[in-house]
């Protein structure tokens, strides 16, 4: 965005300096170029600082995660008052397979009905 502003400013400077002679316009362009270089360096410095800050935050997050995982690995389940881990329950097999069969049959029935409707429609190019 600063590049566009710099270009517009340069064009405006050229337009105003057209009658003043080439030496004035050249000095003005050098000043514009120097100012644009300073602005570009400031943008680069700002982005470098932002990148460093983001890297530091990511390192802190990784450290926090590592510490939490280490605490979880070394934790002993408390008996009684504390939080105890429950064993995972086995999933029931029969209801899921019957549900799958029901959904599969319904899908097949809908597909067959849709195919019949498509076959019943007259095609535009067919007599």
**CA pair distance 35, 6, nearest whole angstrom:** 9
Q: Percentage of the chain with pLDDT > 70?
A: 59
User: 19-39 burial string, b = 16+ CB within 10 Å, else e?
Assistant: eeeeeebeebeeebeeebeee
pTM: 0.37
Give the per-residue pLDDT at 50.
95
User: How confident is the prediction for the chain on average, in pLDDT?
Assistant: 77
Domain boundaries, given as residue ranges, for the chain? 2-73
For residue 53, CA distances in Å to 10, 34, 43, 49, 60 come to: 35, 29, 15, 6, 11
Give the per-residue pLDDT at 71.
77
The DSSP secondary-structure symbol of 1 reads -
Residue-wise pLDDT for 1-14, tens only, equals 555 666 766 666 66
Query: Does the pLDDT value for residue 81 go beyond 90?
Result: no
């Amino acid at each position: 965005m600063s590049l566009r502003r710099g270009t517009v400013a340069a064009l405006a400077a050229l337009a105003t300096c057209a009658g003043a002679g080439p030496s004035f316009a050249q000095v003005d362009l050098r000043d514009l170029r120097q100012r644009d270089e300073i602005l570009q360096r400031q943008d680069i410095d700002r982005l470098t600082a932002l990148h460093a800050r983001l890297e530091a935050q990511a390192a802190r997050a990784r450290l926090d995660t590592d510490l939490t995982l280490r605490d979880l690995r070394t934790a002993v389940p408390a008996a009684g008052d504390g939080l105890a881990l429950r064993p995972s329950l086995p999933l029931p097999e029969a209801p899921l397979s019957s549900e799958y069969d029901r959904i599969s049959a319904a899908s097949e029935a809908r597909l067959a009905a849709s195919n019949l409707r498509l076959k019943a429609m007259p095609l535009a190019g067919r007599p």
